[in-house]
A and B are shown apart, each in its own frame.
Chain A
Amino acid sequence: MTDQDRTITQDELHAYVDGELPGERLAAIEAWLAAHPEDAALVATWRNQAELIRARFGAISNEALPERLSLTRLAQSRRRSVAVIATAAVLAAFVVGGIVGWMARGAEAATRSDLDLFTADAIEAYRLYAVEVRHPVEVPGDQRPHLVEWLSKRLGLQLRAPDLDKIGLKLVGGRLLPGPTGPSAFFMYEGPSGERFTLYCGRTADRETALRYTAGDQNGAYYWVDQNLAYVLSGPAEREKLYTIAQAAYDQIDTRTPPRGG
């Protein structure tokens, strides 16, 4: 180890190969590689891998685009549904009428049984449908009035839903699902990068509860009960993000002054 500076780390070797190394370290790296043939061989191997990858796939970007990837065409087929999306953004008032006031509910203990069942079903439904590319919902978000009316009828309660547009979440649509207490409503929202969140709700006899968080390996959920409806908001296990969504739903729908500190 005759290096003037300090030991070169593997991370620096990768950064060197990828052109990410700060200029002032270049000389040190090159001196190191000259003195350490094993590391030099590693660098050569990685560069060779990159060459193989570029040789193999690089030319794809020169291929003529298929018609279905024409942006003009995709935009035209979209224009028809744009009116619908605008409507959805305005209409957005559905599922979470009952959400009002949950934020500051006392920690009165409800029977956990229904909630546990709801949460399990809701997360399962999230896992099942959030990954669907082509058929995530039964009724798309562009038929919002119909969707809400239909699900309300099936649940026997007037449903409402938050408009999550302001935090970048669009309504994808909804489904009717079997639930622990009968039919359940399932609404899916989607963010600009394709990340999805779902709101699952069904009737419950449980008492109202405060917001509770539960998480598995990859998915998390906030659940609560309000006015005979149990709600479960599910998504990737990012607690802050899920909370933000719940908060947004609450702020938007709330027409009462939220009790603070209670």
Chain B
Amino acid sequence: MNLWRKLACSVLLLVVGLSLAANWLAPSGYARQYREAADAPPSREHWLGTDDIGRDRFARVLYGTRISLLLAPAAALLSTLMAALVGGLAGYLGGAWARGAMAVTDLFLSLPWLFLLITVRAVMPLNVSPLFSVLVTFLMLGLLGWTSAARVLCSTAGSLRDSDFVRQARASGIRGARLFWIHVLPNLKPVLYAQFWISIPAFILSEANLGILGLGVAEPMPSWGSLLKELEGLISVGEEPWKFVPLVLLVVVVTSFQLVLSKQEEVAA
């Protein structure tokens, strides 16, 4: 592991650790409103100031980071499992199954990712509880983000199906589900693992995009998307630079993921 990757790992661990310690670092919580100090600049009480309704920005950044960093991996796990199921099985079965599965993935891939996301998110209930909105947002990312991974897995499973060891296993009488679970699936693990990790930063960025467009996590629950929405009201960059902290944190985290995953991307391709 080179120096940059070690540094990126340390940054990620630090950010995850801080977000998990949000209850101790910001005991007042993300929703408490200090009405007497609305839109306040950074101070000893509020390290990153407060938002327009007096909520402590530091607390919201910590809790928002926790939500994004815990739920993006959950969505990535869901999308990887779906990709394994659809792509892996289609590639293993081959023929019409593979053609059918790839036609479905082509249909999803022919639509720009953000267009697909806003269409599907908009048809879901918008006036839901904050907790439900978090679940809906990340569940949707997981349910729609499997297509490109399924394509890679379909082709890998297809080449495994024709490999010597699978043919030999088949000749020894191992067939069907047993052959898939014991011989094909373990060999898909490196690709599945890579797809899982590279999905996490992609889903974090997607949630941020949806949040800024008003289709992400509902208020008062914080997420990186809803925190970045604050930038919409800015008049100049120098005016309130502390409002850029969520953006800087997001860029640092996603960059750290990219550095850690540079090897995984080669496997996934």
A in complex with B: no
Residues of A bordering B, CB below 8 Å = none
